[in-house]
Amino acid sequence: MDKWDRDNLNFLLSVDEDTFDEFMAQSSEDDIQYAIELIQTHKAELLTRQLELEDALVEETGLDQARAVLNRFRL
């Protein structure tokens, strides 16, 4: 995500409800689709970061074997 996209995402995540409603009312279908894609990309980034942090914690605490067993039950 480049700076332009990041700035747009930060706008979407930080506006109050009235401003968001105004944005939605004035936006084209393409603008709304773009906003949805930004949020989906951000969600994927957060999930990736969460997994990285979980892996780092497992390595740090020496729980690799327990993690391997639990991963078999993860969907």
- Kindly state the DSSP code that residue 29 receives in the 8-state scheme: H
> Taking the model in full, what pTM does it have?
0.71
Whether the pLDDT of residue 72 is over 90: the answer is no
Instruction: Summarize pLDDT for 10-68 with one digit per residue, the tens.
Output: 999 999 999 999 999 999 999 999 999 999 999 999 999 999 998 887 777 767 777 77
Instruction: Please spell the DSSP secondary structure of 34-53, one letter per residue.
Output: HHHHHHHHHHHHHHHHHHHH
The predicted structure's pLDDT at residue 43: 97
Q: How far apart are CA 49 and CA 43, in angstroms?
A: 10
C-beta separation of 58 from 64 below 8 A: yes
The predicted structure's pLDDT at residue 40: 98
The predicted structure's pLDDT at residue 66: 77
